[in-house]
Amino acid sequence: MTDLVALGINHTGAAVDLRERLAVSDDERSALLEALEHEAQLREAMVVSTCNRVEIYGVSDDPKGSGSAALEVLARTKSVPSTELRQAAFVRESFDAARHIFRVASSLESIVIGEPQILGQVKAGYQHAKDHGRVGPVLDRCLSLAFKGAKRVRTETEIARGGASVPSVAVDLATSIFGELSDSAVLVVGAGEMAQAAAVHLRAAGVPEVVVVNRSVERGQALAREVQGRFEPWDRLEAELARADVVISSTGSRLPIIDRAMLKPVMSKRRQRPLFLVDIAVPRDVASDVTRVNHVFLYNVDDLQSIVHDNLRSRQGEARRAEALVDEEVQGFVTWMRSRAVGPLIGSLQGRARGIVDAEVARALAKLPDLDPAGRKVVKKLGAAIAQKLMHAPMAAVRQGANGPVKGRDGADLADALSILFALDEPDPAAQAKARARAQSAKDQATAEPASAKAAEPS
């Protein structure tokens, strides 16, 4: 039966090193989606790739098999050993997959519970897949309800109180080390969504001037204007590193932009003044070897966990409320999925019943050649009425099971039992008999045609 599957890696089981190696760029998404369709047999698929997760959501006739195959596709695409990926990865199916997707969209699976960026990132992955024809009815319904659930979480709870996010936690970390930032020189590298959020939080924390360095002059200048800061072009990066106390970096670079070789001359100019680097990009902007340079202190997204735990403790009550809201929306999706599966099942059951009735009525009427038309009509109605009454209770139970348990029995179990008891997955004997009869009739007609043609020839 067609069902949902969610798989991949995230910050709960994979270190930043693996996450950055598996990060999927916009240019890679289309090819990956195509491979997932043809090699992992995913009828529908989308990819979510952020600093904290690389996840695939899909629909398959064999969720377990497709989930395993999709991990192999991801590993090969990113040149990561499949054994290494499997050790850190998860695969969830059906209800568990739906619940995971809803929780991700609502930020309940984020490093910082309540952070706002993840919803936009999930929407971007969904829209990309939709634009490339990879979203069908199941993912469309699932993500639509997940977005609805995320909106309810943000409007009906205070989980997002204070606008918590990875950038805000990075600023909190800087504040905890330096105290007031009003006397600190602060540099933001990058001008994307995460860098923008960091710059806004820095300004709110009292930083008098935020310096922005970015490759795109237009975007960098726009961010500098937004926070009443100063823009410097990319070739001024080393010079700004030499004067900064705090650096928060988040660019889209696939390789580190700050490394030990760059910082050695920079630090010699600083005369033992410490440099505090917070790298919130994945793939990472700052190479890990910079910590070998004296007076350089580096933090990445995984190092923010202690602050995050404090954040979570203060929001546990709101998180529980949010989880209850998400579970309500998940149940709505599960009910829809079950209802969607019940229709074909009931159609198969009705078809099987009609086939049996028609065959038995035809057999009975063949033994009653003298029965008048009125009597034949009564026999046919009798057969149909018996079939309808016998099928009413099981069909009603399965329909009710789509909305929840029936007398303690899960709706999916009832549907499976019905399919087994009435052999709905096996060929219909009546249909097979009709097919054989049609084939024989066609054969007889084909045999008769040459003889007829021969008789019609002139002597």
Q: Give the CB-side neighbour count of residue 337, counting CA atoms within 13 A.
A: 23
Q: How far apart are CA 387 and CA 344, in angstroms?
A: 18
CA 389 to chain centre: 43
Q: What phi, psi does 111 have (nearest 5°)?
A: -55, -45
Q: How far apart are CA 217 and CA 226, in angstroms?
A: 14
- Determine how many CB atoms are found less than 10 A away from the CB of residue 313: 9
Q: How far apart are CA 358 and CA 383, in angstroms?
A: 8
Q: Give the CB-side neighbour count of residue 295, counting CA atoms within 13 A.
A: 16
Strand-pairing partners, residue 211, are 187, 230
> Catalytic annotation on 142?
no
- Sorted by sequence, the CB contacts under 8 Å of residue 267 that are 6+ apart come out as 275, 293, 294, 295, 296
Residue for token pair 């398959």? 60
What six digits make up the tokens of 119?
Answer: 């919803």
Question: Annotated catalytic residue: which of 6, 42, 51, 326?
Answer: 51
Q: How far apart are CA 347 and CA 352, in angstroms?
A: 9
Q: How far apart are CA 253 and CA 256, in angstroms?
A: 7
Q: Which residues are identified as catalytic?
A: 51
